[in-house]
Amino acid sequence: MTATDPALTALAQGWCALSLLHGRIEAHIERALQSNHDLSVREYSLLDVLSRQHHGEGGHLQMKQVADAVVLSQSATTRLVTRLEDRGLLSRYLCPTDRRGIYTDVTDAGLRLLDQARPTNDKALREALDDAARNPELAPLVRAVETLRLPI
């Protein structure tokens, strides 16, 4: 295949469209969360992921799992956790059965902020998708996103 191969060109254009859609959505949500709740998209995502943990078998996520869920490196995730811990939104403690393991939980203040921010996030997501759906190049991707039903 060459660089002018139509299949590769179409693939590259599809990737660019997906990247554009993601960037627009993330930027719109970022502005809404920052202005209304002093939260970044990454901070919101981290609070959301950690709020879904539970006590019991398999209930807590390891930092690698958290990093994968918020699409950050482990070191960036650790820095993010530290920032939110400094704000009183997260807390860390040692695993009771493995003293090498560290759990991170959302504090009551973090849960309250997450509850306040969730409608803002959801509204901004809907607005960004509706705006993107008006673009003929992005409309098929919006439809695909709207029909996805992934397990959480």
Per-residue pLDDT reduced to its tens digit, 62-120: 888 888 889 999 899 999 999 999 999 999 888 777 777 788 889 999 999 999 999 99
Strands 102-106 and 90-94: antiparallel
**Residue 58 pLDDT greater than 70, yes or no:** no
Q: What pLDDT band is residue 8 in, cutting at 50, 70 and 90?
A: confident
Strand partners, 93: 103
Q: Is the dihedral of CA 131, 121, 49, 27 positive or negative?
A: positive
**Residue 57 pLDDT greater than 80, yes or no:** no
Nearest to 117 by CA among 43, 24, 28: 43
**Residue 152 pLDDT greater than 70, yes or no:** no
Which residue has better confidence, 148 or 152? 148
Which residue has better confidence, 46 or 10? 46
Classify residue 53 as exposed, middle or buried by CB count within 10 Å of its CB (0-12, 13-18, 19+): middle
- The 3-state DSSP class for residue 21 equals helix
Residue 46 and residue 70 in contact, taking contact as beta carbons nearer than 8 Å = yes
Extract the tokens encoding 146.
Answer: 């709207």
Residue 106: φ, ψ to 5°: -80, 130
Per-residue pLDDT reduced to its tens digit, 14-52: 899 999 999 999 999 999 999 999 999 999 999 999 998
Strand partners, 94: 102
What whole-number distance in Å separates Cα of residue 50 and Cα of residue 112? Answer: 13
pTM value is 0.86
* Whole-number pLDDT of residue 144: 94
